Amino acid sequence: MLDTILNTLMKPTKLEKEQLKSLEFHNDLPIDVYDTTLSEQEKTPIISDALFKNKSIYVSKHNRYAPYPTHAHTFLEINYMLRGSCDEVVEGQQIHLEQGDVLLLDVGCKHSVGYLGTNDLLINVLFRDKEINLDLLSDLRSSKSVLYEFLLNRRIGDDSPIHYLVFGHEDESEVQETLDRIIEEYYLQRDFADTIISSYLSILIAQLVRNYKVDMNKPMSKSQEIAVQMLKEINGNYKDTSLEKLSAKYDYNRNYLSNLFKKEVGDTFSNVLTKQRLINANILIKSTTLPVSKIIKEVGIKNRTFFYKKYISYYKMAPGSSRKENSN
């Protein structure tokens, strides 16, 4: 970690000074980043994707000098204990983090953070599930790890089998180094910082899989294996694949496959297929000069209106704006 970044993070912010004076929590988030419907439903403050605004990944220092009350997010979060230590309560379980430890929190995972002192630096790395490309999930499938199962099954709700994972600091220097690089790129904001941070995120997840200590004797269930195969088909043949083709290939009833996929992945086959097509369309929009009309056909989407509606909903801007922003 660069000394200039570390020194900046160590300096008390205005809000931290207020909390030090009162020893009470002061919320620095605007009201419009909370999902009021979900908050009422879960009886817990739920921070929504509105927090990101135009960012794909959000990095922040956790405010010190007061406990942070129970809350949850509609996105994934990594807590990185950069310096010192802290205690959290995650889904009712006491979690103690020492320097170098990493805590990965699922969507909707309820958690609170205890008092942080002057020498305690907890860094939050927030990212949406769309930042995890299906290419990465497919590559991780052979690891049969808890982290892969976590990524495969992430969703809001009590039926999610895994809500959080803790990665100890022992022998995981590569994880800490990658997190340090993400933090440096985020705060220095040099040219291509966003692109580099996104790449580091994929590297980080792969490193977490490699370093996670877990009993590998528990195999995936048959339905999970089928869901992984379907994800592979989406990833490798997103232009032409369909539920009908997969049901014929695997000799399963179409409705059975549809229900199995939604149960294991947490979303419909159609939505995940569209998502992969949009990801690949976005790559072509940003890296080529192909007309958008041709890109739409290239990724397997037949309806131009449908494509524009979904693209804008997913990327929060029109394809032309994405291309222009990238060229700038």
- Of the two residues 47 and 164, the one the predictor is more confident about is 47
Q: Per residue in 291-313, pLDDT tens?
A: 999 999 999 999 999 999 999 98
Can you tell me the mean pLDDT for 60-77? 94
For the ranges 114-123, 158-167, 178-187, the lowest mean pLDDT is seen at 158-167
Structure tokens at 284: 């072509």
Can you tell me the mean pLDDT for 39-65? 90
Rounded Cα gap, residues 87 and 115, in angstroms: 8
Question: Is domain 222-327 given the CATH code 1.10.10.60 in the classification?
Answer: yes
Q: Which CATH class is domain 3-211?
A: mainly beta
Listed in sequence order, the residues at least 6 apart from 255 whose beta carbon sits closer than 8 Å to its beta carbon are none
User: pLDDT > 90: what percent of the chain?
Assistant: 49
Q: Where in the chain is the domain with CATH 1.10.10.60?
A: 222-327
Q: Per residue in 249-262, pLDDT tens?
A: 999 999 999 999 88
Give the side-chain half-sphere CA count within 13 A for 136. 22
Q: What's the pTM?
A: 0.63
In terms of Cβ atoms closer than 10 Å to its own Cβ (0-12, 13-18, 19+), residue 86 is buried
Q: Where in the chain is the domain with CATH 2.60.120.280?
A: 3-211
- What confidence tier does 279 reach under pLDDT thresholds 50, 70, 90? confident
Residue 79's pLDDT is 96
For the ranges 54-68, 190-204, 218-232, the lowest mean pLDDT is seen at 218-232
For the ranges 13-27, 127-141, 252-266, the lowest mean pLDDT is seen at 127-141
Structure tokens at 33: 């980043």
